[in-house]
């Protein structure tokens, strides 16, 4: 079978299609035919050597896949042949709180990932996907969907009528917008593109802010909320946005730190945190159980994730470069089979 491999720090040009032997099945394992893969900013960080994982051995990249069960190993009775499942970002984190043991070996970093025609995984490391989603849409559940779910409803514990600020229009932010509106939350979205902000409003955003024309966007958030601030911020910007996100958060609000598009580090306004009783919360994707909760919520509310563009399996490098361009709205996916 064919699979891609990439060398951490080798850049997108090191992504190469290889011929791989089919792995044998151990106890409790299943063989999956990969149908679609969704890319994340993390995949670019691994390519550039900016992600804290990866060794000298080229790894099969990517963590997010939807696939069909095509073979069952000994004692693998959790699934049936033909079932359609999504990978869980952490193959060992099934439920409960994160710890060093259950967050080891995430797909596509130190351990081989999913950008392949077939993969062999534990029957415990996948979850069922909603039937109304096509393969490309379902492939976006694993990382961006679960991350947004964790940030909004697990860490921030938001309830109907509360508010959230979503930075940008990438995969996690757009997932966050769709989940927020289905849950009865008020959502504010930022972007540098008026066209993208218009698309966000079409998805239900209650207010939008162009951070190019309003660089002190935290002041606009406060104005829009009557000076109170938002109950949660999905912080994906990093050092370029964190201070503003803290200021935009309400008293007792949560700033869910998800990524660092502009890098990590920078100043932290500790006084604003202390006097506002605000909380910084690191979001390390989530467990399989969160994926299952997300899938049920998506199914009941008939949510359709936003796929910006899909590429053929042979166009994986082009998919990476398109994601790198930052021109996407929602998720960038790769169709593998089916």
Give the span between the Cα atoms of 139 and 64, in whole angstroms.
Answer: 6
| Largest separation between any pair of C-alpha atoms in the chain | 61
pTM above 0.85, yes or no: yes
Instruction: Determine the pLDDT at residue 265.
Output: 53
Instruction: Determine the pLDDT at residue 266.
Output: 58
Instruction: Determine the pLDDT at residue 270.
Output: 82
Give the span between the Cα atoms of 303 and 284, in whole angstroms.
Answer: 23
How confident is the chain (338 residues) per 10-residue block, as mean pLDDT?
A: 95 96 96 98 94 84 98 97 98 97 94 97 98 98 98 98 96 97 98 97 98 96 98 85 94 90 61 90 97 98 98 98 95 94
Ranges of H-type helices in 29-170: 41-48, 135-138, 146-149
Instruction: Determine the pLDDT at residue 108.
Output: 95
58: number of Cβ within 10 Å: 18
């Amino acid at each position: 079978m064919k699979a891609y491999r990439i060398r951490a720090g080798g850049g997108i040009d090191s992504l190469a299609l290889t011929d791989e032997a089919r792995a044998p099945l151990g106890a409790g394992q299943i063989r999956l035919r990969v149908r679609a893969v969704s890319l994340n900013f993390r995949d670019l960080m691994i390519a550039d050597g900016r992600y804290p994982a990866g060794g000298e051995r080229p790894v099969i990249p990517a963590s997010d896949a939807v696939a069909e069960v095509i073979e069952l190993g000994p004692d693998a009775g959790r699934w049936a042949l033909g079932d359609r499942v999504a990978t869980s970002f952490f193959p060992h984190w099934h439920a409960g709180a994160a710890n060093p043991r259950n967050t080891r070996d995430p797909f596509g970093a130190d351990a081989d990932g999913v950008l392949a025609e077939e993969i062999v995984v534990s029957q415990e490391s996948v979850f069922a996907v909603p039937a109304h989603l096509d393969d490309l849409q379902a492939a976006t559940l694993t990382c961006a969907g679960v991350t947004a779910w964790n940030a909004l409803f697990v860490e921030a514990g938001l309830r109907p009528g509360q508010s959230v600020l979503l930075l940008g229009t990438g995969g996690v932010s757009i997932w966050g917008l769709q989940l927020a509106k289905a849950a009865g939350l008020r959502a504010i979205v930022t972007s540098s593109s008026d066209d993208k902000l218009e698309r966000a409003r079409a998805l239900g955003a209650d207010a939008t802010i162009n951070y190019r024309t309003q660089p002190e966007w935290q002041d606009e958030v406060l104005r829009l909320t009557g000076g109170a601030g938002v109950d949660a911020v999905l912080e994906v910007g990093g050092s370029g946005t964190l201070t503003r996100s803290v200021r935009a958060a309400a008293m007792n609000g949560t700033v869910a730190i998800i990524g660092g598009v502009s890098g990590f580090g920078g100043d932290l306004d500790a006084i604003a945190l202390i006097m506002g009783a605000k909380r910084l919360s690191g979001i390390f994707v989530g467990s399989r159980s969160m994926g299952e909760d997300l899938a049920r919520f998506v199914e009941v509310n008939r949510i359709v994730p936003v796929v910006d563009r899909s590429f053929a399996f042979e166009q994986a490098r082009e998919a990476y470069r398109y994601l790198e361009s930052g021109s996407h709205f929602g998720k960038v996916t790769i169709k593998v089979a089916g």
